[in-house]
Amino acid sequence: MKTNFDIDFIVPWVDGSDPQWIEEFNKYCPEDKRIIDASTKRYRDYGLLKYWFRGVEKFAPWVRKVHFVTCGQKPEWLNLDAPKLHWVKHEDYIPKEYLPVFSANPIEMYMHHIPDLAEHFVYFNDDFFLTAPVKKEFFFKNGLPCDSAILGTISLTDIGHILLNNNNLINQKFNKKKVIRKNFTKWINPIYGAELIRSLLLLPYTGFTGFHNTHYASAYTKTLLNTVCDEFPDAIKTTMKNRFRSQQDVNQYLFQDYRFCTGDFYPINPHKNKKMFTLSDANLTQAADYIKNQKVSEIVLNDSDAFDFEKATVVLAEAFEHILPEKSLFEV
């Protein structure tokens, strides 16, 4: 079945080196940083954003519109008159009482309220890049978002508390045995490859112990997000009130987990034609090689503290320039 409906992309971005943004960040940032995540790496910019736009234009020319979400910032090179660009400021869709915001979680919880957003859309981080051609079916098949229902466990590190909040809500709403029985072939499916072992080992447990959420671009529908927000209004409101990432938050994976339980997705191998790098000095050359030789269609360049940031920006920019040397219509 051909995917004959419109699909939009959403990508949020922040320039953490902007003096005005830093001033506002410091103004609102609580002194007690033990309950928030205000790490520098979460806000620093590689200077690779133009290659994100070039990749979209060259490798996904079918996209209807790109919703570029910021607090009001924009790169100097961005062409605001680009036919497919919708520059979205937080104030355009997030209620005033929750602004300003310095966490991705509230931005994600309300993204279905972005004006003129298509029913079917794909949510990217600004470090998720397209590096080879993709069809609409890379994200949606038979009218359904492509996804992988794989059971997992939760480690209470990094965003573990947030994932636990998601999981508690899912267990309150759904009965694990009934969910898996209803859509057995979507849960126990050989297409998941070695990842299926996770589900088989965790199948005997009574409730959901967590989900194996992959860190790639996520296909969603506005209908799904509206349903989840209506189902868990208190959790959504708590998250919206937190200007900085907090252990009390839920995040976008709640939408994904809910969809696993309703069965409204098309099963795919979670890693086919995709690759994620948590960048380090040891794997920087390999990451650049994946880009230059277009070994996958989607590559994720996850930030970390374990590498030379300045060197990485140069090496990665050279790799992207190799496959995307021409300006896109998104650039002046």
Q: How confident is the model at residue 41, as a pLDDT?
A: 52
Token readout for 162 is 């947030």
Calpha distance 287→299 (Å, rounded): 9
Beta carbons of 111 and 123 less than 8 angstroms apart: yes
Q: What is the mean pLDDT of the chain?
A: 93
Single-letter residue type at 183: N
Pair 66, 86: CB distance under 8 Å? yes
Give CA angle at 210 (209, 215), nearest 5°.
160
* pLDDT in the model for residue 36: 47
Coil vs helix vs strand at 242: coil
Q: What domains appear along the chain, each with residue ranges and CATH number?
A: 7-274 (3.90.550)
pLDDT at 308: 80
- pLDDT digits over 134-178, tens only? 999 999 999 999 999 999 999 988 899 999 999 999 999 999 999
Q: Lowest mean pLDDT: which of 7-16, 21-30, 64-73, 136-145?
A: 21-30
Question: To which H or E segment does residue 113 belong?
Answer: none
Q: What is the pLDDT, as a whole number, of residue 9?
A: 98
Helices (H), 41-123: 49-59, 104-109
Kind of pairing between the strands at 7-12 and 66-70 = parallel
218 and 9 in contact (C-beta within 8 Å)? no
If you average pLDDT over residues 245-264, what whole number do you get?
A: 96
The secondary element (H helix, E strand) that includes residue 43 is: none
- The two tokens of residue 79 are 């062409």
Q: Using pLDDT thresholds of 50, 70 and 90, give the confidence band for residue 42.
A: low
Question: Is pLDDT of 306 > 80?
Answer: no
**Residues of 227-264 as b/e, b for ≥16 C-beta within 10 angstroms?**
bbbeebeebbebbbebbbbbbebbbbbbbbbbbbbebb
3 state DSSP class of 141: strand
pLDDT digits (tens, 9 = 90+) for 106-131: 999 999 999 999 999 999 999 999 99
Quote the pLDDT of residue 34: 45
pLDDT over 50 (residue 302)? yes
Is it the case that residue 40 has pLDDT exceeding 80? no
CA distance 74 to 307: 27
| Confidence grade of residue 39 (pLDDT, cut at 50, 70, 90) | low
Nearest to 244 by CA among 23, 21, 38: 38
